[in-house]
Amino acid sequence: MTSIVERYHIPEQHFWLRGGRSGPPVEYDAGTGIWNVYGYPELHEVLGDPATFSSDVMRVIPKDLMPDSEDFSLAGFITQIDPPEHGKLRKLVSSAFTRKVVADLEPRIARLTHELLDAARERGRLELVADLAYPLPVTVIAELLGVPGGDRVLFKQWADAMFERDTKISLSRTAAEQQADARDALKAWKEMAGYLAAHAAERRRQPRADLLTRLVEAEVDGERLPDDQVVNFAIVLLLAGHVTTTMLLGNTVLCLDAFPEVQDRVRADRASVPAVIEESLRFLTPFAALSRSTTREVELGGVTVPADRLLMIWLGAANRDPRQFPDPDVFDPGRDPNPHLAFGRGIHFCLGAPLARLEGRVALNILLDRSDRLRTDPDDPVEFMPTPTMTGVRRLPLR
């Protein structure tokens, strides 16, 4: 059988998809200056020990490689914060972003999915990413936050400027190259921060029933979030809330195209839709890698990693570690349990996992209801994102 890598011309940046990785679980790359962690047990250890493996990676990146801007602040970027501050911020936000808030969205997600598919039918073609996988999650998270879903063209521009990179992350590139990379991202970040600050200020004056209002009003131990933290947290939610779910939806449909027998089975047994979503998260892990920094010298996977080093931890590779997942390159929704690490693990476990799973389940069921067969078009190729740390289709024309 042709592997999905050849079949869909997946760029070589997504090296861990090639299967049968036989190298060591932890490897130093002298070219980039980064310690790469690939093995499942090793990643489990890293994610479970935030005292040794800090999320504050800025502390180990040389200052001259950072954007030369004074008004760049990571305050409130929850993914970069360690305990004890992390716990406080997380509690504050989870008090606003509850399971009930998410569960109540189901009818809206279903309605939106139908509207988007109706519009595509009128146009006479379905390019899954542009017509559904992008607009659905971005509209849901925008509405949840309380900013106009119609501004999604702006969100896409900002997200692309921040995330789309076809180069390897490297500490060995020159300061000028790194700064040039950072400049676009910083410009996008500033525009986005200005946009969200205006909406947050509006909510302080006039509260509404939305997440932004809950964020500006939420209190833990009598304290509210300062303005810059509200804005940065809203940026994280707006970006994390759609980029990854777009990849999840596209990747899942791609898997059903690549494995038609699975598509037959899930059509016959809709109870297996959640298991298909979980296997898609393992098989094509959207956030393929996260970063951490060591706070002390540590033994990991048989090697000694010095203190204050940058680690890339490859969730995508760990999710295909044969020590944890037998026949890892087989797409098998029957894996039970399926302890993939696509949403991370430990204190930073994805806050949006229930929402991503809900969107995946609702959209996939509707796609199956409304089609006899989900099939790619051999005359109109699938395109993958070039960014090595993100695994997702960015164009998926269907017949």
Of 36, 54, 213, 244, the one binding ligand HEM by CB under 6 A: 244
DSSP-derived 3-state class of residue 12: coil
The stretch near ligand HEM (CB under 6 A) out of 105-113, 119-127, 282-290, 375-383 is 282-290
Q: Which of 229, 245, 319, 387 binds ligand HEM (CB under 6 A)?
A: 245
| CB-closest chain residue to ligand HEM | 352
Q: Which of 45/380 has CB closer to ligand HEM? A: 45
356, 366, 382, 396: which one binds ligand HEM (CB under 6 A): 356
Helix (H) or strand (E) holding 128: helix 128-128
User: In this chain, which stretch among 187-195, 213-221, 232-240, 267-275 interacts with ligand HEM, using CB under 6 A?
Assistant: 232-240
Choosing from 8, 155, 259, 287, the residue that interacts with ligand HEM (CB under 6 A) is 287
Per-position x/- string for 289-328, each x denoting binding to ligand HEM as judged by CB under 6 A, each - no binding: -x--------------------------------------
Alpha carbon separation from 229 to 106, 162, 234, 294, 319 (Å, rounded): 29, 19, 8, 25, 33
Per-residue contact flags (x/-) with ligand HEM for residues 90 to 109, judged by CB under 6 A: x-------------------
Q: Write down the least CB distance from residue 26 to ligand HEM, Å.
A: 18
Residue 159 binds to ligand HEM (criterion: CB under 6 A): no
CA dist 328 and 141 (Å) reads 32
Question: Omega into 326 within 30° of 0, i.e. cis?
Answer: no
Sequence-separated contacts (24+) of 321-329 with Cβ below 8 Å: 321/25, 321/38, 321/39, 321/40, 321/41, 323/39, 323/40, 323/41, 324/40, 324/41, 325/40, 325/282, 328/19, 329/3, 329/19, 329/20
Question: Containing H/E element for 29?
Answer: strand 26-29
Mapping DSSP to helix (H, G, I), strand (E, B) and coil, where does residue 373 land?
Answer: coil
Task: Pick the closest to residue 233 from 85, 53, 28 (CA basis).
Answer: 85
Q: Which of 36, 52, 55, 391 binds ligand HEM (CB under 6 A)?
A: 55
Nearest C-alpha neighbor of 127 from the set 116, 112, 137: 116
CA–CA distance, 262 with 272 (Å, rounded to integer)? 10
Q: Which of 17, 60, 192, 248 binds ligand HEM (CB under 6 A)?
A: 248
**CB of residue 70 to ligand HEM, shortest distance in Å:** 26
Does 355 bind ligand HEM (CB under 6 A)? Our answer is: yes
Identify the CA nearest to 255 among candidates 15, 17, 11: 17
Nearer to ligand HEM, 34 or 356 (CB): 356
Q: Rule CB under 6 A: choose which of 34, 46, 60, 78 binds ligand HEM.
A: 78
Contacts of 65 (CB under 8 A, 6+ apart): 171, 175, 178, 179
Dmax over CA atoms of the chain, in Å, equals 61
Report the residue from 215, 240, 284, 364 that binds ligand HEM according to the rule CB under 6 A: 240
Contacts to ligand HEM by CB under 6 A = 55, 78-79, 90, 141, 236-237, 240-241, 244-245, 248, 286-287, 290, 342-344, 348, 350-352, 355-356
